[in-house]
Amino acid sequence: MSGADREANTPLAKPVDRRKALEMLAGGLAAASQLASTCSPLSSATPEERERRLLEWEERLKGNFRLMTDEEKAETIERLERLAKLRRGVDVSISATEAQPGVLFGYAFNISKCLGYRECVAACIRENNQDRKSNMQYIRIFEMEQGEIDFLRADATFEHEVPADGHFYIGTQCFQCANPPCVEVCPVQATWQEPDGIVVIDYDWCIGCRYCMAACPYWARRFNWSEPEVPAEEINPVQHYLGNRLRKKGVVEKCTFCIQRTRAGRLPACVEACPTGARVFGNLLDPDSEIRWVLEHKRVFRLKEELGTEPRFWYFMD
């Protein structure tokens, strides 16, 4: 056998792509670590611990959500649900419900109605399992002096009784732009726009470069600088793969119009929580929807329209 032939027979000379190679490597490592932990008399790992490690290894090897087959999606969801049980002791149900045909979500915010109670913020935190330690909040409510909209002179950290005299309130969150700059800049295509208009993130594909945060002109995205902390009893178990499932350190997250709710026909948590009815949500393609009534009967505007981001989030007033 010549040297060249011998070389061709080695595993590395075969046409192996990066993913395959990683899988082989990891498979070997996982097997080795399992072997070591199961055989070693010194190992103190419980069966649950070994199961968790194996699931974590398998999780590292999955692909981008958009490239997964239905089987692969079902497998990763099963792993993630099991991991939530093993790590946090909670039974969660993760859905991968797809966008309904004929649905394009739109949102309207009544700046005459909002009184700055921040009930939406509190509901959002609980619904979307946001990090309690860093007090992450997707929604910002700005208090502004009546007369003009000026975010530079607005205050988003008010803690006094509201509504304050001579002021009005205007809320921001992810606007699910039709032309989202955050999606364009992502170097690994970990964020994209769904057919129903929701801009989502694959938390397991995000590399944490935060380009999207720099590109967003509305400061809608949030970064997990540390491992997110949510008390087990406060975890919302009704989750979506692209929505409120538990995130990890080093990834970006944002408002998804509560994809786990809205894909099931429910209203987003902020809309449901608003005590003044300042928030309107619905299907832009349904001519009888509330959002269409607002767009057709009220004077509406969007923030930074000149940028061409085309937010699907309108402001209106009475």
Partner 1 sequence: MRSAHWLAFLLVFAGCRFGEGARAQGVREHSVPADARARTYLEAVPAELAQGISGPGGRYFEVQLRTPQIQGFPCSSCHGDRGAGSEVLVRSGHGSIDLIHPRGAARDCRTCHLPRDPAMLKLLTGETVTLDHAYRLCAQCHFAEAEAWAGGGHGKRVATWEGRRVVLNCTGCHNPHNPAFPKRLPRPGPSIPRRSR
- Rounded to a whole number of angstroms, the minimum distance from the CB of residue 308 to partner 1 is 23
Q: Residue 247 has which token pair?
A: 């995130």
CA dihedral 270→275→276→279, nearest 10 degrees, is 10
Contact 191, 145 (CB under 8 A): no
Stretch that binds partner 1, among 20-28, 47-55, 73-81, 146-154 (CB under 8 A): 146-154
Residues between 159 and 188 that touch partner 1 (CB under 8 A): 159-163
Q: Does 28 bind partner 1 (CB under 8 A)?
A: no
- Using CB under 8 A, which of 77, 121, 144, 235 touches partner 1? 121
Kindly tell me which of 116 and 180 has the beta carbon lying closer to partner 1: 116
Closest CA to 317 of 263, 284, 291, 278: 278
Kindly tell me which of 205 and 316 has the beta carbon lying closer to partner 1: 316
By the 10 Å C-beta count (0-12 exposed, 13-18 middle, 19+ buried), 4 is classed as exposed
Stretch that binds partner 1, among 23-31, 49-57, 242-250, 260-268 (CB under 8 A): 260-268
> Given phi > 0 = left and psi -120 to 50 = alpha, else beta, which region is 135?
left
- One-letter amino acid at 182 equals C
Q: Does 10 bind partner 1 (CB under 8 A)?
A: no
**Count of residues touching partner 1 (by CB under 8 A):** 58
- The three-state secondary structure class of 244 is coil
- Rounded to a whole number of angstroms, the minimum distance from the CB of residue 121 to partner 1 is 6
Mask: binding to partner 1, 185-224, rule CB under 8 A, as x and -? ----------------------------------x-----
Q: Whole-angstrom Cα distance, residue 129 to residue 131?
A: 7
Stretch that binds partner 1, among 23-31, 43-51, 72-80, 292-300 (CB under 8 A): 292-300
Q: Residue 228 has which token pair?
A: 């997110």
- The three-state secondary structure class of 315 is strand
Q: Does 34 bind partner 1 (CB under 8 A)?
A: no
Partnered with residue 142 across adjacent β-strands are 170
Q: Whole-angstrom Cα distance, residue 239 to residue 93?
A: 6
- Rounded to a whole number of angstroms, the minimum distance from the CB of residue 229 to partner 1 is 14
- Using CB under 8 A, which of 266, 284, 302, 307 touches partner 1? 266
Contact 133, 160 (CB under 8 A): no
Which residues contact partner 1 by CB under 8 A? 95, 97-98, 100, 102, 110, 115-119, 121-122, 134-135, 137, 140-141, 152-163, 219, 238, 262-267, 272, 274-277, 280-283, 286, 288-291, 293-294, 297-298, 316, 318
